[in-house]
Amino acid sequence: MGELSGKVALVTGASQGIGAACARALAQAGAQVVCASRRLEAVEEVAAGIRQAGGVAVARTLDVTHHEEAAALVEEVAQTLGGLHILVNNAGITDDQLFLRMKPESWRRVMATNLDGVFNVTHPAARIMLKQKEGRIITITSVVGLMGNPGQANYAAAKAGLVGFTKSLARELGSRNITVNAVAPGYIQTAMTEALSEEQRQRLLASLAIPRLGTPEDVAAVVVFLAGPGASYITGEVINVSGGLYM
Ligand code: NDP
């Protein structure tokens, strides 16, 4: 019996990287986990791995840019699994370009996934959590939303938006036993950061207090903490998991 046993968790973008690590770690802590992303085969593989390790997990298709699809999934999860206690808004993309070369489509694509996507899933989830009188909403932002990064004006704007979103929602929902927090990773070793050149990697390592890239598990551990009983008095916070890249 883990400390999250009896809880139902939904993780968006759970097919790989940080989302998959969050799904595995939440299941290891005892939660029943719904792994969701656009690629059913990939999330099914993650869910199967969790079941093989003795956890409870199911896979569902979800494109977070579609509000109705998100609302239908949240409703289905709550009805069939007995509620929704933990939401991890993890799905995210980058579409980098120096600002003057950035096409409006790149701006909109990143906003649609990283910012609208969080609204689309959290809106129906918060309604369920209010009825339940219990909930944990954890959103993966980025230190880039706090410190900026050349070539990422769209991504940084969306991630900074999530910080304001988190703090506002924390103030709205705190009296209803729902906490709302964000986790801001620095550079984590996933497909998203694979494209770094050796020179960029060396420059990056020199700017870190802990001179290594983070792992998806480094982020997942903080997500599990925020979902657990030890974090019941923490809300509206942004916790950096960046090896000291931003402090
Ligand atoms: P990956 O690119 O490895 O994974 C992204 C995940 O998001 C995939 O599972 C993908 O699944 C899913 N996804 C993308 N678009 C959608 C969509 N429209 N609907 C549903 N799911 C979607 O990235 P990371 O694991 O590195 O990143 C995860 C989160 O962490 C993101 O929000 C990212 O911004 C943030 N982050 C990452 C950092 C890093 O260094 N890696 C640093 C700071 C923040 P599928 O393709 O199957 O839909």
120 lines ligand 1 (CB under 6 A): no
| pLDDT confidence band for 193 (50 / 70 / 90) | confident
CA-wise closest residue to 124 among 64, 62, 71: 71
Instruction: Give the residue, out of 16, 139, 241, 246, with the most ligand 1 atoms within 8 A of its beta carbon, to mutate for a pocket test.
Output: 16
What is the tens place of the pLDDT at every residue in 67-84? 999 999 999 999 999 999
Asked whether 195 lines ligand 1 (CB < 6 A), one says no
Q: How confident is the model at residue 39 (pLDDT cuts 50, 70, 90)?
A: very high
pLDDT at 200 over 90: no
Ligand 1 centroid distance, CA of 5 (Å): 26
pTM summary value:
0.98
Q: Whose CA is nearest to atom 6 of ligand 1?
A: 13
Average pLDDT for the chain: 97
Q: Please, which pLDDT band fits residue 114 given cuts at 50, 70 and 90?
A: very high
Q: Give residue 146's pLDDT band: very low, low, confident or very high (50, 70, 90).
A: very high
Q: What is the best residue among 15, 18, 115, 143 to mutate for testing ligand 1's pocket, by most ligand atoms within 8 Å of CB? A: 18
Q: Is 191 exposed, middle or buried (0-12, 13-18, 19+ CB in 10 A)?
A: exposed
Sequence-separated (6 or more) residues with CB below 8 Å from residue 194: none
- Does the C-beta of 245 come closer than 6 Å to ligand 1? no
Residue 159, sorted as left (phi over 0), alpha (psi -120 to 50) or beta, turns out to be alpha
Nearest-atom number in ligand 1 for the CA of 219 is 30
